[in-house]
Amino acid sequence: MIEFQLDARSGVSPYMQIVQQVRHALRLGLLREGDQLPTVKEVVARLAINPNTVLKAYRELEHAGLVTARPGVGTFATGSLADPALAEHGPLRRELRGWIIKARRAGLDEESIEALFRDAVRSARIEGVA
Amino acid sequence: MTWVAWRQFRTPALVTLGLFVAFALLVLLTGLHLRDVYNSVGGAHCDARGGCTAVAGHDKALAQVLQPALLVLPALLGMFWGAPLLARELESGTYRLAWTQSVTRRRWLLVKVALGGAAALAVAGLASWLVSWWYAPLDHLNRISLEPTHFSERGIVAIGYAGFAFALGVAAGALLRRTLPAMIATLLGFVATRLAVTYLVRPHLLAARHALLPLTFGQGVGLLAGPEGITIYAGAPTIPNAWVLSTKLVDHAHHTLGSSQLHDLLARTCPTIAGPDAQYGKGPGFGGSAFESCLHAVSRHVQLLVAYQPPSHYWPLQALETAIFLAAAAALIGATAWRLGRRPAPRPAVGESSQRAERPDAASEPGAEIDAPLVLLPDERRRADEGS
Amino acid sequence: MSAALATRRLGKRFGRRWALSGCTLQVPAGRVVGLVGSNGAGKTTLLHLAVGLDEPSEGTIAVLGEEVAGASSQLSRVGFVAQDTPLYPALSVEDHLRLGAALNPGWDATLARDRVRQLALDPRQRAGTLSGGQRAQLALTLATAKRPELLVLDEPVASLDPLARREFLRSLMEFTAEHAVSVVLSSHLIADLERLCDYLVLLAEGQVQLAGDADELLASHRRISGPRRDSARLPANQQVVEESHTERQSTLLVRTDEPIIDPAWEVAEVSLEDIVLAYMRPDARPAADGKAPKAGR
């Protein structure tokens, strides 16, 4: 069973950390379809966090189709984050490739490109436009 | 709640029980011995010269120690059982635990008071019985039962005193919120009240009787040099087991005689002693026999008018005084319980959404929305001169 | 559902000093509410009013839909852990549980026994000899075993070592997860806010400075920085909470419900801790008419 960690200093809210950890586990295959996630009580007992936080995380995962809640039994992983989904976004990929080439020509190394990209994704979310 | 009250009361109760058992044993053993002595000299018919003194002198030290027992016991009960009841909880902060269970404060207090109070009354009752029993032979000989201090040290009044001192302790604890000050206040309040009742209330509880007695019955009857000349002095007569409240020198018409009137009377009746030519304290006129015959002559014109509580009033007075103190105790407890549970009158709950819609100024009221930060207008703030 | 705690212009005065004034709150049920503020801000006063240990000098207060009046029925719905966890030093752990059972009709003896066993407390040990963490856990046991609908805790972990603190909060959250209960927890430590609380009330000098859902507060506050600009020139929908300026740069903490699209600003999220600290400053009050307050420097 997956065990959650909480990084109090990461700047990411606790509920989002749980969501990310579940997605990450699914992506890596640590969590497979049919596996049970820890109960709210177990998570709370381990991390000493608000149970509503866990509930919210599980609800969001359910909304994204990644888990399903069976009342009285528990929460179970249903979906997976297999790579095939990513392969479908062909036009986006090509556009991104083009941008990377431009950035390289402007003199940015791989690290700077990643940093610039990550920052732009973050800002877009924070500013509320994406 | 009863278990809780007992558990908190357990230690003082057991300590007191231990001390009381020792006390009771002491009293019983020595009392039986005293009775032996008393019976061996003939009981009430003891020989006033030898036998009776033997009884009176027996265990004199213990008699003196036991004498004020029934005055001291209630004070101790008030200080050690009554005062800490509320004060200790308030002082140590445990009231924050006790009053946030599911029992109302009033019920909490009343159960604790009922337990402690009942125990105090029981202890006082037993002690009263023991002490009165011990002194019975001596009291029979001395016959001062209605004398003020003695009255307080016998009979059943100690039960009233104990109830009152206990209640006073509880009330003091509630007001002062600290154990030691409450104990001191209880002691002082108890002593003051008891003295006040003894001398200001008790004489008037039942109508006094009056009697005319010959002058010679007065104690230490004699002559006194007063401002207007020599006058007669007569102390209160001894009436067995009665309480003499006042003694006045009166004439045949029952008018009180002032010292100038007494002087005139003396001057007329005993010219050698009190006449204008007599010299006070000197000469043959002041000899024993001249004095005796003067008194004899005067007593034909002067009598003692005595106001007193007769022996038959003993138990009625005991009952009345006990009742007064117990009533005062009940009043104190009632006032403390009322003050403890005082609450504003119940009003409709504030949080119900249906009521919010009805209030006309709900929309403009700050904080009406759940999630907005609250904005406070200047006139709603009340700042102290000294900030926190 | 009734609000867990609802007050209307609540005020409490001790002598001449107003420990709490003009306090109006509607705290929803089913949350873990953090009541924060520095020492002397009025947190204990508010909590004592909520559990009936004190009476208001003005205004009203209701808990779980009922006006606070010391009635036995309401007392049994609210569990309280007072500051410094008062217990009877001469009574044993067992005695305290017995006290709880005797004084609370809704007492869950199984829950109490299980917790004591889980905590490895010796039932016969006197409360006066327990460690700080054990006392706190015993007090929490007493408050939770009566199965309240609202649990109120006044700085329960302030004097505990970090391990005891974590254990206590863990126990508290476990209880919250298992039973439908509202929790109001006061603290002058704000570090644990984000992981524990989903509703926040901030008191300063006896007045409510901030009250709201934690997620909503996080979503509506941003720290923006950019070239120096007078804060009065900001759009009306952006309320400035805190600001600081250097010669060339301005940094502001703003509250807004809409996206900040001005490209001159660099926008960053803030933590609950930052938000609380900003509102705790004496000069950071949003004015009644929405204009920016005086500068912080």
A99-103, B5-9, B78-82, B139-143: least confidently modelled range: B139-143
Q: pLDDT tens track of chain C, all 297 residues?
A: 678 899 999 999 888 899 999 999 999 999 999 999 888 888 999 999 999 998 899 999 999 988 888 788 888 999 999 998 999 999 999 999 999 999 999 899 999 999 999 999 999 999 999 999 999 999 999 999 999 999 999 999 888 998 999 899 999 999 998 898 999 999 877 777 778 998 999 998 888 988 999 888 988 888 888 888 877 777 777 788 888 888 888 888 888 887 777 777 888 888 888 888 888 887 655 433 333 333 333
For residue C292, the model assigns a pLDDT of 35
- The b-or-e profile of C161-173 (16+ CB within 10 A means b, else e) is eeebbbbbbbbbb
Contact A52 C32 (CB under 8 A): yes
The mean pLDDT value for A72-82 works out to 78
Q: Does A8 touch chain C (CB under 8 A)?
A: yes
Position B132 pLDDT exceeds 50: yes
Position B54 pLDDT exceeds 80: no
| Residue whose pair of structure tokens reads 């009635």 in the numeric block | C71
Q: State pLDDT tens for residues B163-189.
A: 999 999 999 999 999 999 999 999 999
Contact C32 A50 (CB under 8 A): yes
Identify each DSSP E strand in B236-353 by its residue range. 243-250, 303-309
For residue A83, the model assigns a pLDDT of 56
Work out the mean pLDDT of chain A and round it to a whole number.
83
How many helical (H) and strand (E) elements, i.e. helices and strands, does chain C have? Answer: 9, 14
For residue B147, the model assigns a pLDDT of 87
For residue B157, the model assigns a pLDDT of 93
The predicted model scores a pTM of 0.81
> Smallest Cβ distance to A40: which of C30, C177, C269?
C177
B47-56, B330-339, C104-113: least confidently modelled range: B47-56
Nearest to C255 by CA among C271, C275, C272: C275
Which of C114, C189, C195, C224 should be substituted to probe chain A, the one whose Cβ sees the most A Cβ atoms within 10 Å? C195
Say whether B41 sits in a helix, a strand or coil.
coil
**How many CA atoms does the CB half-sphere of B96 hold within 13 Å?**
22
* Surface of C (178-197) touching A: CB under 8 A: 178, 191, 194-197
Contact C177 A51 (CB under 8 A): yes
Contact C259 A127 (CB under 8 A): yes
Q: Does B386 touch chain C (CB under 8 A)?
A: yes
Q: Which residue from C minimizes the CA distance to A14?
A: C195
Nearest to B275 by CA among B223, B221, B220: B223
Give percent of chain B with pLDDT exceeding 90. Answer: 41
Q: Give the 3-state secondary structure of chain A.
A: CCCCCCCCCCCCCHHHHHHHHHHHHHHHCCCCCCCECCCHHHHHHHHCCCHHHHHHHHHHHHHCCCEEEECCCEEEECCCCCCHHHHCCHHHHHHHHHHHHHHHHCCCCHHHHHHHHHHHHHHHHHHCCC
**What angle is formed at CA C247 by the lines to CA C244 and CA C249, rounded to 5 degrees?**
55
Rounded to whole angstroms, the Cα distance separating B87 from B57 reads 45
- The model's confidence at residue B222, banded by pLDDT at 50, 70 and 90, is confident
What tokens appear for A125 in the block?
């979310």
For residue B49, the model assigns a pLDDT of 61
The mean pLDDT value for B115-122 works out to 95
Contact B367 C208 (CB under 8 A): yes
Angle between the N-to-C axes of helices A110-127 and A90-105, in degrees from 0 to 180, rounded to the nearest 10:
120
- Residue C88 or residue B290, greater confidence: C88
Nearest to A55 by CA among A45, A43, A47, A46: A43
Contact C267 A123 (CB under 8 A): yes
Question: What are the chain B neighbours of C22 within 8 Å (beta carbons)?
Answer: 376, 380-382
The mean pLDDT value for B202-218 works out to 87
Q: Does C223 touch chain A (CB under 8 A)?
A: no
For residue A3, the model assigns a pLDDT of 86
* ipTM tops the 0.85 cut: yes
Contact A11 C260 (CB under 8 A): no
Work out the mean pLDDT of chain B and round it to a whole number.
81
Contact B97 C86 (CB under 8 A): yes
**Cβ contacts of residue B353 below 8 Å, gap of 6+?**
none
Q: Which residue from C minimizes the CA distance to A12?
A: C271
Q: How many other C-beta atoms lie within 10 A of the C-beta of residue C251?
A: 17
Nearest to B346 by CA among C20, C74, A112: C74
Position B28 pLDDT exceeds 80: yes
For residue B258, the model assigns a pLDDT of 80
- Residue B18 or residue C236, greater confidence: B18
For residue C235, the model assigns a pLDDT of 77
What tokens appear for C10 in the block?
């609540």
Contact C195 A44 (CB under 8 A): no
Say whether B110 sits in a helix, a strand or coil.
helix
Contact C222 A126 (CB under 8 A): yes
> Smallest Cβ distance to B349: which of C17, C65, C78?
C65
For residue B360, the model assigns a pLDDT of 35
Nearest to C23 by CA among C213, C206, C212, C287: C206
Question: What are the chain A neighbours of C151 within 8 Å (beta carbons)?
Answer: none
Distance, CA of B333 to chain centre = 18
For residue C90, the model assigns a pLDDT of 92
Q: Which residue from C minimizes the CA distance to A11?
A: C271
| Cα→Cα distances B22→B26, B79, B310, Å | 6, 21, 37
Q: Does B344 touch chain C (CB under 8 A)?
A: yes
